Amino acid sequence: SVPLLQAARKKNSLNLLELTEAELEEQFVRGDGPGGQATNKTNNCVVLKHIPSGIVVKCHQTRSVEKNRKIAREILREKVDLFYKGEDSDVFKEKKASEKQKQEKKRRAKENLERKKLFKEMQQLDKE
């Protein structure tokens, strides 16, 4: 039950849909968040819209407009792939696999903790 568009921004996705520049609408706006004057005076936040699907991505991860443009395109590409392919998307499958790994790791940690508690209890009984 992973929300589809939240699964985007995972690495190693090779089989994504291609975007053409004609389908994109790009704007440069002032970013938000910490940064003071540097943020308030420069338009280095990239807002990228995929016109056919209506998906909008906002990227203000670096101070460089070029890097933000590149990152925004990567994120948009993954979100568009998720939008059209849904659960068949590689991005969605990667997210599902990582969730499963996380749950397995949690389960093992819990088991280890139980074993440690049992071991300590046994030691207490042996001392008495």
Retrieve residue 95's tokens: 């997210």
Instruction: Express each pLDDT in 35-76 by its tens digit.
Output: 777 777 888 899 999 999 999 999 998 888 999 999 999 899
The model carries a pTM of 0.63
Q: What are the contacts of 42-48 at 24+ separation with CB within 8 A?
A: 44/68, 46/72, 47/72, 48/24, 48/72, 48/73, 48/76
Instruction: Express each pLDDT in 65-106 by its tens digit.
Output: 999 999 999 899 888 888 888 888 777 888 888 899 999 999
pLDDT of residue 55: 93
21-85 CATH fold:
Double Stranded RNA Binding Domain (3.30.160)
For tokens 């460089």, name the residue: 64
Backbone phi, then psi, for 47, in 5-degree steps?
Answer: -115, 120
Domain boundaries, the chain: 21-85, 89-127
Q: Which carries the bigger pLDDT value, residue 83 or residue 16?
A: 83
pLDDT of residue 1: 43
The answer to whether the CB of 82 falls within 8 A of the CB of 91 is: yes
